[in-house]
Copies of this chain bind each other. A is one copy, B any other.
């Protein structure tokens, strides 16, 4: 055994407002830089109005349906919300960020993220306006 090592990077992602930004390639680059061949990549979002999700990356209609479903589940400007000071997309974004996730952990097998054939890792922006989102990628494993 050559011993377990760690590699940590903070990456910034520009979002175009509400929608999905695929991160699979950025995270794969961090894994490559780490030289880990067998291990785990943890991706962590430092925000409560954007989230992470692993979803189908082939057909974009899946993401459109997913966004529309989130909008029905946690509607903008619901009059029952008490927290509305930042606008109608503020509280809905917090709720959607509970359905998407704050972090995703992905095994590394043979130096590659063990995503399935149709899986992509996405940052989901829940606010209407563009944002710069900060993610911590932590890689652990053996070279």
Contact = CB atoms under 8 A, between A and B. Distances in A.
Given A4-B5, A68-B80, A119-B48, A62 B91 contact: yes
| Copies of chain A in the complex | 3
Interface stretch (A11-19, A24-32, A98-106): A98-106
A35 to B, nearest CB: 12
Given A1-B3, A40-B140, A98-B53, A83 B109 contact: no
A23 interface: no
Interface size bracket, A side? 35 or more
A82 B94 contact: no
Interface in A102-120: 102-107, 109, 114-119
Interface of A is mostly: mixed
Interface of A: 1, 3-6, 8, 10, 38-40, 42, 44-48, 53-56, 59, 61-62, 64-66, 68-69, 73-74, 80-83, 85, 91, 94-95, 97-107, 109, 114-119, 134, 136, 138, 140-142
